[in-house]
Structure 1
């Protein structure tokens, strides 16, 4: 059977935040190739006892690709498990291109992203009428950099709900840049290992973002959400307003 190699988003960490499709692929896997440095170990435990589990924290792309190709050609159900959502910073593109060149079919299963899990845990909505209607997902430049048009200064100038991944190592620089565009008391949600058993999640003023990160010794698996929407307020959406008519609720 020509089974596709499944690239699966593990979600933020909690096994019950996996999609049903992701859980199904894991429960039927013959070979699991997983990002053990970023994925909660409890998720890797969902595979069958007979499944071969291969950690990738010490491997290069050149090590991983033969494991995907050989597993597929041997008729195995191969699952490549990435943290979070496959659409964000998962590095699946170069893997899929190689598999395509080898004539191997692939399947991509999305996952819940950490920013979604963090907002849910905080019981917040990141798009609030009259406050903010845009969410930006990005990261600090770091070693791999970002395109000039996507520099943090430009993104911050929008004043949107800004979700920053992979940025804890550069938090002092990030804070300085953000303070040029957001008031210093703008709420910032800092999430470390969101939805893991040892999750740490708090809201602090922007001016305390860097110091809090240093105090908690946060580096990896840390998310920052900078948004005025994190403050609870009385703003009401017009969607359910009595004077707002639409297709399913015509005006009287």
Structure 2
């Protein structure tokens, strides 16, 4: 029976596509990919007769029409999203109507831009005695944010934070964050993580907006905030030689 696979293509580097995602893209009869964000190199190796659609110029009804028509013809569909489809992937609005029609769907996770951005800097969101929580969020724009999830309320936790889809409003972001974070809090803005033209801008809440403006970064960037970007932290218990766990006796 034909099936629709929602595949996370990762942040940009085609080698960060999972083995399963690559296998399904290469074997699918129809591929619909988010061409405005997904690296087209992930299509290399697909079937010569595969029908390929760039969803950047399609609306939801058009995507669903292509998908349902393919399924009715017994063809597998690879619906390829950027990053991980479960984070700002707009997949529910596709999966729900498809499943109502009896179409089988499967989601294949991918590397998210927020983890790719941390990896690009060799940083860890969850440092002992610094932060054990990561908040993934966005500024309110044309898509609203629930009032209880406003940026200033989330900032009150002073946890590690990854802010999506908001670099074009960075001055407003900083205004809301500094209600709770000290202005000396480190910030990183990572544009197009893992792409050949990746750009990393480092600063603090006090100066990052100016630095981002100087670099002309207005889209496709993560804003990472928190003391996890600094250099002060405790060692983990996991590898502490005095710490005993089920696989090792402490000394």
User: TM-score, normalised on structure 1?
Assistant: 0.95
Is there any run of 5+ residues in structure 2 with no aligned partner, and where?
none
Structure 1 vs Structure 2 CA RMSD? 1.4
Does 2:189 align with 1:190? yes
**Post-superposition offset of 1:169:** 2.0
Does 2:99 align with 1:100? yes
**Post-superposition offset of 1:234:** 5.3
Does 2:196 align with 1:161? no
Distance in structure 2 (CA, Å) of the matches to 1:48 and 1:212: 45
Is there any run of 5+ residues in structure 1 with no aligned partner, and where?
none
Q: How does 1:1-252 map to 2 (within 5 A)?
A: 2-233=1-232, 235-251=234-250
Q: 1:159-211: CA deviations, max 9, x gaps?
A: 11100001012111001111121122211111111111211123221212222
Secondary structure at the aligned position of 2:219 is classed as coil
Distance in structure 2 (CA, Å) of the matches to 1:69 and 1:234: 52
Distance in structure 2 (CA, Å) of the matches to 1:56 and 1:141: 24
**Post-superposition offset of 1:109:** 0.3
Secondary structure at the aligned position of 1:238 is classed as coil
8 A contact 1:13–1:43 mirrored in 2: no
Structure 1 residues 219 and 45 mapped into 2: Cα distance closer, same or farther (>3 Å)?
A: farther
Secondary structure at the aligned position of 1:25 is classed as helix
**Post-superposition offset of 1:70:** 0.5
Distance in structure 1 (CA, Å) of the matches to 2:92 and 2:138: 18
8 A contact 2:127–2:233 mirrored in 1: no
User: TM-score, normalised on structure 2?
Assistant: 0.95
Secondary structure at the aligned position of 2:47 is classed as coil
